Amino acid sequence: MKSYHDIASDGGSNVLEQVSVQRKHLEERLADVRHIVAVASGKGGVGKSTVTACLASALNRKGYAAGVLDADLNGPSMAHMMGVQDHIPYSRDDAMTPALSHGRIPIMSMDLFLPPGSTPVIWQAPTQRGAYTWRSMVEMSALRELLADTHWGTLDIMLVDLAPGADKLQNLADLLPNISGTLIVTTPTAVAQMVVGRSITMASDVAQVPVIGLVENMSGNTCRRCGHEEALFTGNPAAHKLAQRHDIAYLGRIPFDARLAYCLDEGISFLKDYPESTAGKAILSIADALHAWLDL
């Protein structure tokens, strides 16, 4: 009787070969992308997408070719934040067209494939029962396709907006072994930092992705009338101490600024209108730190 390992083929499907073709295709597509940087945080709602959108436009203003992949498949927000949710991708040759934010920044997101409104991502299957056994695999395939089947063109940097969760970076790193590094986002609350601390360890020790540094978001509130700054969260545990504990760079703090939230809601560029605001300057300085780290 033969054992599993004695079976010479998989019945003609050649699954291994098909998977390696997929990998090769992904590599070829990203050959002209110099750096891939993931924006991550174990904690939800801390501003990963906000930081991604703002950094993409900051780098673009500085003359770099930046692109954005929205890797949050179930809660995509980049297309909306960057004002391109009306773009309908179409295929041209062997890939699909990304949306172009401000005419220059290519964006690819699950959002562009979903009906407008509140339609969730539902994967077709003979039955939805037991979907927990395969959903994450379908998501990985979808993520691979969003990366491999998009006309990215030549990019200096691709920012990848991740979904919350310490595991998300590891999944991405499995798909893309050459990620340049990751930015970790936190807020100045003890709960966020407890969770984010684990993500930092996960990033460096398990996913083995270099941590570029920590971004502290919603750190203080700027009064809309007079520009006065005050703490948004009481207690305010200093995020730079978290950075110190993990021996990673502290890249700066972005205050809570209602105009920033408004711009993202409307899909307009905050940096275009408020480059001189405290938040605007903070974002531009984080972008400087990022391209210095990448040696762009």
Ligand X SMILES: Nc1ncnc2c1ncn2[C@@H]1O[C@H](COP(=O)(O)OP(=O)(O)OP(=O)(O)O)[C@@H](O)[C@H]1O
If one asks whether residue 122 binds other proteins (CB under 8 A), the answer comes out as yes
Q: Which stretch binds ligand X (CB under 6 A): 14-22, 39-47, 83-91, 175-183?
A: 39-47
If one asks whether residue 52 binds Mg ion (CB under 5 A), the answer comes out as no
Q: Mask of contacts with ligand X, 250-269, x by CB under 6 A?
A: ----x-xx--xx--x-----
- Pick from 22, 75, 95, 268: which binds ligand X (CB under 6 A)? 75
If one asks whether residue 210 binds ligand X (CB under 6 A), the answer comes out as no
**Minimum CB–partner distance for residue 237 and ligand X (Å):** 17
Q: Which amino acid is at 217?
A: N
Of 128 and 136, CB closest to ligand X: 136
Q: Which stretch binds Mg ion (CB under 5 A): 12-20, 42-50, 94-102, 238-246?
A: 42-50
**Minimum CB–partner distance for residue 17 and Mg ion (Å):** 36
If one asks whether residue 49 binds Mg ion (CB under 5 A), the answer comes out as yes
Calculate the alpha carbon distances from 68 to 157, 226, 294 in Å.
9, 34, 17
Of 54 and 248, CB closest to ligand X: 54
291 binds, among Mg ion, ligand X, other proteins, none (CB under 5 to 8 A by kind): none
Of 145 and 167, CB closest to other proteins: 145
Chain CA centroid to CA 142, Å = 15
Helix (H, G, I), strand (E, B) or coil at 95: strand
Q: Which of 212, 191, 244 is nearest to 55 (CA)?
A: 212
Of 125 and 206, CB closest to other proteins: 125
Q: Residue 40 and residue 56: Cα distance in Å, rounded?
A: 15
If one asks whether residue 50 binds Mg ion (CB under 5 A), the answer comes out as no
Of 150 and 222, CB closest to ligand X: 222
**Minimum CB–partner distance for residue 62 and other proteins (Å):** 31
Give, in degrees to the nearest 5, the angle at Cα 79 between 78 and 84: 145
Let me know: does 36 contact 181? Beta carbons within 8 Å: no
Q: 250 forms bridges with which residues in the sheet?
A: 214
Q: Which of 245, 251, 194, 248 is nearest to 219 (CA)?
A: 251
Q: Residue 127 and residue 107: Cα distance in Å, rounded?
A: 32
For 268, the token pair is 């307009």
Q: Which of 120, 133, 13 is nearest to 73 (CA)?
A: 120
Residue in the structure block whose two tokens are 């050959």: 31
Q: Residue 157 and residue 160: Cα distance in Å, rounded?
A: 10
For 157, the token pair is 């940097």
Which residues form the interface with other proteins (CB under 8 A)?
12-15, 18-19, 22, 88-91, 94-96, 112-117, 119, 121-127, 129-130, 133-134, 137-138, 140-142, 144-146, 149
Which residues form the interface with ligand X (CB under 6 A)?
44-50, 72, 75, 77, 163-164, 217-218, 254, 256-257, 260-261, 264, 279
